Amino acid sequence: MIITPFRMVAAFAVSAAVASAMVPEIVYSGIPWRLPADSVRARLQAQGFAFSREDREHDLIFTRGDGTEAKVAFQDGRLVGIDVADPVRGAAVNERFRALVDSFTAAVGTPDTAGEWSAFWHKGLSDLEMYISFDGAVRHVEIGWTGPGAHDEWARRNEALRDSDDLAYPALPATYTRVGGRSLAVVAVDTSLLRRGAGGIIRGRFRIGYPRSVGPADDEFDSAEYEMDFDCAQGKTRLVSRTVRLRGEVRHHDTHENLPWESPRPDGHYVRGLDAVCRAASVLRSAR
């Protein structure tokens, strides 16, 4: 079986307000990002997939005669991600995984991270992951691609399923799009403020949101917004302003001028913002 590698030439934020600032070129196996659902269905069927079913989220699931299963995720009826379950099972899984990693590496470059059972590529706001999955006792290779808007869509779905608002993340302004995040924190970039200055320095704004308030009991917050300068090449940051909120109300706001450049701590907000803003700036025309 041959799986056509993902082609991740450029990626973009999902907000329609900034659509004109984007370069459209994210393609999976000839199927471009944001393609309408009916067109995605037609293109997969042309590649030998047969429509199997629609799940409760209205994503489409297709199967192929060789046992491959593809699940196609949509946001507002348009493509934002595809998951492919490889049919190879048993002792052949490890060899299959290594062969697929080699194939994708030849197509899209060296993985950003790689392990014995996983490999990840990050290109702008697109993510490609390949890993050996354990579905009960059955091992197989899983390939997942997500484009911009996927994190926002998953957040919307998760929040819609909650019985209460106790674990809901703070709402994002319209110009923000989620870039990623851990289970208890999400990172989003403001696509309306993303400018490249002298020497390639990026001026950008990012936001960290939590489903529950954090910090000391007398100074809690659930979101922190930072405007910063980013030296993506050197991995350095410089704070311009910070706004901390709790349930939408500003708790603190401070501004700074000409602070020294710093190398951010590996586990702090600044390093998450550096990664998120630099990824977004690599593909948005507004940052050129």
Give per-residue pLDDT as tens, 34-54.
899 999 999 999 999 999 999
Q: How confident is the model at residue 64 (pLDDT cuts 50, 70, 90)?
A: very high
Q: How confident is the model at residue 70 (pLDDT cuts 50, 70, 90)?
A: very high
Q: Is the pLDDT of residue 243 over 60?
A: yes
Dihedrals φ, ψ of 88, to 5°? -65, 135
pLDDT score for 184: 75
Q: Which of 198, 167, 207, 202 is nearest to 183 (CA)?
A: 167
DSSP state of 158: H
Q: Region 77-91: what's the mean pLDDT?
A: 90
pLDDT score for 24: 38
Q: Is the pLDDT of residue 20 over 70?
A: no
Domains and CATH numbers, the chain: 6-150 (no CATH), 162-287 (2.40.128)
DSSP for 74-127? EETTEEEEEEEE----GGGHHHHHHHHHHHHHHHH-S-SEE-SSEEEEEETTEE
In this prediction, what percent of the chain has a pLDDT beyond 90? 48
Which structure tokens are listed for 183? 């289970």
In this prediction, what percent of the chain has a pLDDT beyond 70? 83
DSSP state of 284: B
* Average pLDDT score, the chain: 82
pLDDT score for 171: 78
The 10s digit of each residue's pLDDT in 155-214 is 777 666 554 445 567 778 888 888 865 557 889 999 888 888 888 899 999 999 888 888
Q: Is the pLDDT of residue 72 over 60?
A: yes
The 10s digit of each residue's pLDDT in 120-140 is 988 877 888 999 988 766 889
Cβ proximity of 93 and 139 under 8 Å = yes
Sign of the alpha-carbon torsion through 255, 261, 265, 270: positive
Q: What CA–CA distance (Å, rounded) separates 168 from 179?
A: 17
pLDDT score for 84: 93
Q: Is the pLDDT of residue 87 over 50?
A: yes
Q: How confident is the model at residue 101 (pLDDT cuts 50, 70, 90)?
A: very high
Q: What CA–CA distance (Å, rounded) separates 118 from 85?
A: 14
Q: Which of 219, 221, 220 is nearest to 209 (CA)?
A: 221
Cβ proximity of 232 and 281 under 8 Å = yes
Which structure tokens are listed for 198? 């002298």
Poorest-pLDDT segment among 55-64, 83-92, 130-139, 189-198: 130-139
Alpha carbon of residue 237 to chain centroid: 22
Q: Which of 209, 197, 267 is nearest to 238 (CA)?
A: 197
Query: Which residue's structure tokens are 């998450």?
Result: 272
